[in-house]
Each structure stands twice: as structure tokens, then as C-alpha cells.
Amino acid sequence: MKLSKGFWAIAVIIVLLILDQASKIWIKTHMMLYEDIRITDWFIIRFVENNGMAMGIEVIGKLFLSIFRIVASFAIIYYIYILIKKNFSLGYIICISMIFAGAVGNIIDSIFYGVIFSESTPYTIATLFPEEGGYGTWLHGKVVDMFYFPLFEFTWPTWMPWVGGTQFEFFRYIFNFADACISVGMFVLIIFYWSSFAKSFEKKKVTEIES
């Protein structure tokens, strides 16, 4: 029996969300804030929490950011529905599903984690469903990050303008499984499915004109 593209989209989203939340809950309930588990010299599990967007960027209020993420996710799920209805390629639908799963994974942190977890500190491990209540309120939870890949580092030569004498590290950002889903989905989309992306909006525009 041939499985539908809708089935695969739902399956990808569910599996990725489970992996994302399982990794975050384990980190949150087993590690203190800023604690490291060194797998290799270039692969480290480092528990940090992120108040803002990807890579720790904080440019707008937390409540606005959480609401924006929710609205954007509804737009993506509607887009996936249109792709399935228009019978786009399965690979392209899976890429968009990965991006959606990553977005929802971080939304779950923002909506629920402030309510269901006690606060993580460099000295204490958080508790799930603490009797005294969570560390925050709805829509104000912190996103859990943990993957750190310091592949190499060096010091820029002192004669170089602006950066001379400063330390450079690749890759210094700490991210989570949801971020990886978004990044991989976007990378594959741009490399292999950029024409499909443009075509999807062309079809939508034609439909709107005909209607």
C-alpha cells in the first residue's frame, strides 16, 4: 500500500517533535545550567537557555516573539496543506515539514516550559511539574539549547584591521535539535528544491488571479 504524502509529512513532524522534546526534557532534568558533557574535543553537550531567537539573538520582547512564532507556524502548516493538495514532490514537502517541526519544537518551550519546570541554575537541576510552580508564565518559557561544536579556533593576526588579536571560534553557537531541523530543512530546500519553492508561489498567484 502506497502511503500518502500527507502521512509522511505528519510522520516526519511527529518523530522530529518527539526527538526534540525528549532531548530537551532530559537535559533540563539531568543537567545544571552551563554544565558540560564532553563527548569529544569538538562535540560538547552544554546546557544553556535562550530567551530569544536562533543563536541566542534577542531583538524583540519575549511575548511578541512567542506570538509571532505561533502565527508563523500556522502559516507554515497551511502552506504544507497547499503543497500536498497541489501534489508537490515528497522531498520538498518533507523539507517544509522539518522546518515546521523545528519551529513548533521551540514554540513548545516558549509556551510551556516556564510553567512546567522549576528554574535551572548553575547549582541546581530543574524539576518537572514542581509543587511550587514553574519559573515563569505561559508564553515566557526559555528555549533549551545544548549542542556545541567548537571545531577549531585561532587568533586573528594583530595586523588585520578590526579583528586583529581577537579570538575566532568555529562553531561557537549553541543550538538544539529543533534549530538543526530548521537549518537542515532550509539547506536542502535551497540546494535541491529552490525551483519548487518559487513554483509553489507562482501556482498560488495564478490561482488567486483566476479566482
Active site residues per annotation? 145, 179
Q: Which residue shows C-alpha cell 519548487?
A: 196
Distance of CA 176 to the CA centre of its chain: 6
Cis ω before 171 (30° cut-off from 0)? yes
What percentage of the chain's residues is helix, strand, coil (to nearest 5)?
A: 55, 15, 35
Rounded CA separation 157/163 (Å):
8
| Of residues 192, 203, 18, the one with CA closest to residue 93 | 192
